[in-house]
């Protein structure tokens, strides 16, 4: 009988590297990530063509150069269960160019963007009995909120390629990934643009790191060389009858007005995540509708105040 691999048997392990590009061998007991929508581009490369002159019609052979790989996946956006514990996804954030601060007296964990390179990951992906290993991984992420759905992070990582191997499927331990709060009127205590509490149907924040794979004569690496955070939200159209409270979204877009945006999910200690964007610029909105009610779809651009402060994420 021909052998085959089961598509549903997928697992991902990730661990912070000590030396960049040296596989640190994450373990299924300590380093498993509870993921969904796991997908891997197992081999990305350029072709070095020999381009010989021939006296007949034919292809020229080539060899692959600049070998690397990419992986994408989603995880649930949940706190840690205890304010003093960092969330299970903290190392993923640090490999996306975020700075982590453990707050005093175990009050929680704070994440801010950083223009420093920061950490790298070794990532092992199991596709049934096939294991793919990526090293020196850095990446980017987005955050997604939608009514009646669990909030999620979506990650994309790029790393150095290693030839896949046959390996038995691991028995993973993911208890540190607790159940997230479902966004609702009972769990979201704040969703505010400027001074206005919004009726929000969906929200998306994209970090938009630029993290190319680069190959030189004597080295290869993945560096974060820029970021341009952007996003979008869909809100119940508040109308324009009260301009003194900045409800005129069209005027805000026309005047390039900058406002803060604050989102707080969860009301119980150990299960709270707060997203703060100090300076958000709204772009030209579009009309939409749901439940027979008019909505506005609003593109967003997230700007810095002093630098490396376009957002903060506090888990407490």
* 53 occurs within a structural domain: no
Asked if residue 5 belongs to a domain, the reply is: no
Q: Does residue 54 form part of some domain?
A: no
Check: pTM over 0.85? Answer yes or no.
yes
Q: Say if 212 falls within a structural domain.
A: yes
DSSP string spanning the chain? ------TT-EEEEEEE-SSTTS-----TTTSEE--EEEEEEEEEEEEEE-----SS--PPPEEEEEEEEEEEEEEE----SSTTSPPTTHHHHHTTTEEEEEPGGG--EEEEE-SS----EEEEEEETTEEEEEEEEEEEEEEEEETTS--EEEEEEEEEE---EE-PPP----TTSPPPPPPSTTTEEEEEETTEE--EEEEEEE--EE--EEE-SS-EEE---EE--EEEEEEE---SS-GGGT--HHHHHHTT-EEEEEEEE-SSTTS-EEEEEEEEEE---EEEEETTEEEEEEEEEE--SSSS-S-EEEE-
Task: Assess if residue 57 is contained within a domain.
Answer: no
In a domain, 59, yes or no: no
Is residue 51 included in any domain, yes or no?
no
Whether 52 is in a domain gets the answer no
**Which pLDDT does position 241 carry in this prediction?**
67
Predicted confidence at residue 284, as pLDDT, reads: 92
Q: Which residues form the domain of 212?
A: 10-45+64-315
Q: What is the pLDDT along the chain (316 residues), one digit of tens a residue?
A: 568 888 889 999 999 999 999 999 999 999 999 999 999 999 999 889 888 898 999 898 999 989 999 999 999 999 999 999 999 999 999 999 999 999 988 889 999 999 998 899 999 999 999 999 999 999 999 999 998 899 999 999 999 999 999 999 999 999 999 998 888 888 887 888 888 888 889 999 999 999 999 988 888 899 999 999 999 999 888 777 655 445 678 888 888 889 999 999 988 999 999 999 999 999 999 998 888 888 999 999 999 999 999 999 999 9
């Amino acid at each position: 009988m021909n052998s085959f691999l089961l598509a549903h048997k997928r697992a991902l392990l990730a661990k912070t590297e000590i030396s960049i590009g040296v596989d640190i061998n994450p373990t299924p007991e300590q380093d498993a990530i509870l993921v969904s929508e796991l997908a891997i581009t197992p081999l990305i490369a350029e072709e070095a063509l020999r381009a010989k002159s021939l006296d007949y019609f034919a292809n020229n052979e080539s060899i692959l150069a600049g070998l690397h790989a990419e992986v994408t996946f989603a995880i649930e956006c949940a706190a840690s269960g205890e304010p003093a514990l960092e969330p299970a996804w903290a190392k993923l954030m640090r490999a996306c160019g975020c700075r982590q601060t453990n707050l005093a007296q175990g009050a929680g964990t704070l994440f801010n963007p950083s223009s420093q390179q920061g950490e790298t990951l070794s990532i092992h992906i199991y596709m049934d009995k096939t294991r793919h290993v990526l090293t020196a991984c850095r990446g980017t992420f987005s955050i997604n909120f939608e009514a009646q759905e669990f909030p999620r992070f979506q990650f994309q990582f790029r790393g150095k390629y290693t030839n896949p191997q046959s390996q038995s499927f691991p028995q993973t331990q993911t208890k540190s990934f607790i159940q997230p709060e479902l966004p609702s009127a009972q769990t979201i205590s704040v969703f505010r643009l400027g001074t206005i509490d919004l009726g929000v149907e969906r929200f998306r924040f994209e970090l938009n790191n630029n993290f190319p794979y680069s190959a030189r004569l004597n080295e290869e690496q993945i560096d974060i060389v820029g970021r341009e955070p952007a996003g979008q939200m869909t809100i119940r159209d508040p109308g324009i009858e009260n301009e003194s409270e900045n409800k005129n979204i069209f005027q805000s877009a026309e005047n390039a007005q900058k406002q803060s945006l604050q989102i707080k999910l969860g009301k119980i200690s150990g299960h709270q995540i707060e997203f703060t964007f100090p300076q958000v610029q709204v772009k030209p909105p579009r009309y939409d509708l749901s439940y027979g009610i008019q909505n506005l779809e609003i593109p967003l651009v997230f700007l810095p105040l002093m630098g490396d402060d376009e957002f903060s994420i506090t888990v407490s």
